Chains A and B, each alone.
Chain A
Amino acid sequence: DVKVTQSSRYLVKRTGEKVFLECVQDMDHENMFWYRQDPGLGLRLIYFSYDVKMKEKGDIPEGYSVSREKKERFSLILESASTNQTSMYLCASSRTASLYTQYFGPGTRLTVL
């Protein structure tokens, strides 16, 4: 079974802090994604990556950056956390051969005070 893990289920940070959210997948998937999920807004794509050291902006990249130094790991970075970044963050991965089936991690609920 594909396993996508996220470093924390719940996280509380203060405004202005630098925040790292880690995602690891164990199935050698080429593609990895970061979404945020907010009530009434559905899932919105922040960044995605098709390969190591490669990244592309999604629909809402402002205030975020990402890092993919290894194939299995995709990190989301909030350079200076703000209260409007309080949200559920979901990581996903997929194989290029079955491009459209994404496997999701359990999510990280981030609260920025």
Chain B
Amino acid sequence: SQQGEEDPQALSIQEGENATMNCSYKTSINNLQWYRQNSGRGLVHLILIRSNEREKHSGRLRVTLDTSKKSSSLLITASRAADTASYFCATDNTNAGKSTFGDGTTLTVKP
């Protein structure tokens, strides 16, 4: 079974609103990453958060990690139509660079 599971599966918002996606995982991890995938394309790495970190920011992205709940959230503030994509969390519990990906959240931002 997948290590990371995103929630919700799909999210539709208006431009300018904030979008929050959640990721839950089952076993302890060394780090967690978020990736983005535009339709029919490869994935692009967004941000990595280590197991000893609780929050990380990158531009309009804010990622939190709660290891006690085995969950992470990705917040995109002031969303734009160009943010429309699928977002995946990936976890690594091997320290070997072999990440396990979830099923993704499909975000639609309406102009």
Distance from B80 Cβ to chain A, minimum over Cβ atoms (Å)? 22
A interface footprint on B60-96 (CB within 8 Å = 1, 0 otherwise): 0000000000000000000000000000101010001
From A94, A100, A101, residue with most partner B Cβ within 10 Å: A100
Is B103's CB under 8 angstroms from A105's CB? no
Partner of B99, one of A100, A105, A106, A107: A100
- A-B CB contacts (within 8 Å), total count: 54
Size range of the interface on A?
A: 20 to 34
Q: Which of B31, B43, B97 contacts A94 (CB 8 A)?
A: B97
Known: A90-B43, A100-B48, A104-B44. A31 touches B2 (CB 8 A): no
Q: Mark A80-113, 1 if CB is under 8 A from B, else 0.
A: 0000000000101010100111111111010000
Q: Is the CB of A101 within 8 A of B48?
A: yes
Judged by DSSP, the binding face of A is: strand
What's the minimum C-beta distance from A33 to chain B, rounded to whole angstroms? 8
Query: Residue B33 contacts which of A43, A48, A100 (CB distance < 8 angstroms)?
Result: A100
Nearest residue (CB) in A for B96 is A99
Check B45 against A4 for contact (C-beta < 8 Å): no
Interface contact B45-A103, CB-CB below 8 Å: yes
* Complex: A105 Cα to B44 Cα, angstroms: 9
For A58, the closest partner residue in chain B by CB is B98
**CB-based closest 4 A-B pairs:** A104-B42, A99-B97, A43-B101, A42-B103
